[in-house]
Amino acid sequence: MALFLQRLVDGLSSGSVYALIALGLVIIYRGTGHLNFAQGEMALFAAYVVYQMGEWGLPIGIALVIGLATGFVIGAVAEVGLVRPISKKSPFAVFIVTIGLFQLLNWLSGAIWGDQVLPNSGVGSKQQQYPSLFPDQPDDFVKVFGAAIRYQSLGVLLLTLVITGLLFLLFNKTKFGLAMRAVASNAESAKLVGIRVNTVLMVSWGLAAAIGALGGVVFAGINNSVSLGLMFTVFIYGSAAATLGGFDSPGGAVIAGLAIGVIENMAAGYIGFIGQEMKLAVAFIVILVVLMVKPSGLFGTAKVERV
């Protein structure tokens, strides 16, 4: 029982990070119909910024705000400067542009912070580990039925649920959320009723990047470090969650992210030949099965086209 509960909570903690990345993908897809393959690297760059703020002595709260603002700016600038002009000429070209942005951001992170794992024990480093949003000392846990449940795991899960609730309120209870839904449904009609479509799209990309940045900071905190390859696997899991839940369903993305986290953790723990090294295969299997059986996702809306 204790081992099962331990793996369950660990899976929910990992799944919470996948859900945050998936939420960013869903917000962009709902608003523009595009997939942002640079979502993970936007989060990585913001995670590096938070690390740098810690090196300069800023508390984690202020560093997090700066990191989220950095993610928002990157997303907004990418939409205005790259995606918007390209999408008018060729929607498929956006796919190539986001891959190029992925490479650019990864290169830029390496050029600024190097390719080593940070923090390190080198001369001049002020941090022993990456700053965490939640208590992460060895004794920061609570015993539940014999399982050591860390406060950090509970905090990550609670944070994801709070973000999901805030997004629900944004989409359903605010004028801007209504504008986002209108633009996602029909951008041309939204213009006719006075909605500033370009502003909505820019803010949507910025908001998605900021949520992804939060996921990057949380994941770096869980790993106690940040490196150039930190977000690649997480992006794969996040893509699988968005695919499973449905690219037009924020709630579905969260449920799917949590489910994937639990499934891959349980599979690694109870199926001997999978182990920790092959957990990524679970994400690929999920993507393959969902695309074959229900391409719109478990909670997504199937598109009906008149012929």
pLDDT tens-digit readout, 54-69: 999 899 999 999 999 9
User: Is the residue at 291 inside a domain?
Assistant: no
| Residue 99: per-residue pLDDT | 92
Looking at per-residue pLDDT, the higher value among 190 and 166 belongs to 166
- Give the separation between CA 16 and CA 5, rounded to whole angstroms: 16
pLDDT range class, residue 172, cuts 50, 70, 90: confident
Q: Could you read off the pLDDT of 175-216 as tens digits, one per residue? A: 888 888 788 777 788 888 888 888 988 999 999 999 999 999
Looking at per-residue pLDDT, the higher value among 123 and 196 belongs to 196
With a pLDDT cut of 70, the percent of the chain lying above it is 91
From the list 7, 12, 9, 24, the residue with the least C-alpha distance to 238 is 24
Statement: residue 76 has pLDDT above 90: yes
The token pair that represents 84 in the structure block: 């918007």
Domain extent, residue 218, equals 2-229
pLDDT range class, residue 254, cuts 50, 70, 90: very high
| Residue 302: per-residue pLDDT | 62
User: Is the residue at 38 inside a domain?
Assistant: yes
* Residue 142 dihedral angles phi and psi, to the nearest 5°: -130, 140
Under a CB-based contact definition with an 8 Å cutoff, are residues 248 and 181 in contact?
Answer: no
66 DSSP 8-state letter:
H
pLDDT range class, residue 303, cuts 50, 70, 90: low
Looking at per-residue pLDDT, the higher value among 19 and 273 belongs to 19
Looking at per-residue pLDDT, the higher value among 290 and 210 belongs to 210
User: Is the residue at 188 inside a domain?
Assistant: yes
User: Is the residue at 84 inside a domain?
Assistant: yes
User: Is the residue at 252 inside a domain?
Assistant: no
| Residue 4: per-residue pLDDT | 82
| Residue 206: per-residue pLDDT | 94
User: Span 138-142, mean pLDDT?
Assistant: 81
Cα→Cα distances 286→75, 136, 239, Å: 28, 31, 10
Under a CB-based contact definition with an 8 Å cutoff, are residues 25 and 89 in contact?
Answer: no
Cα→Cα distances 277→14, 184, 264, 274, 280, Å: 15, 39, 11, 7, 8
- Cβ atoms within 10 Å of 33's Cβ, excluding its own: 14
User: Is the residue at 23 inside a domain?
Assistant: yes
Ranking 107-121, 254-268, 273-287 by mean pLDDT, the lowest is: 273-287
User: Is the residue at 190 inside a domain?
Assistant: yes
Count of domains observed in the chain: 1
| Residue 35: per-residue pLDDT | 85
Under a CB-based contact definition with an 8 Å cutoff, are residues 31 and 183 in contact?
Answer: yes
User: Is the residue at 294 inside a domain?
Assistant: no
Q: What sections of the chain are H helices per DSSP? A: 2-32, 39-55, 60-78, 84-89, 91-113, 151-173, 175-185, 187-192, 197-223, 232-245, 250-270, 280-293
| Residue 164: per-residue pLDDT | 92
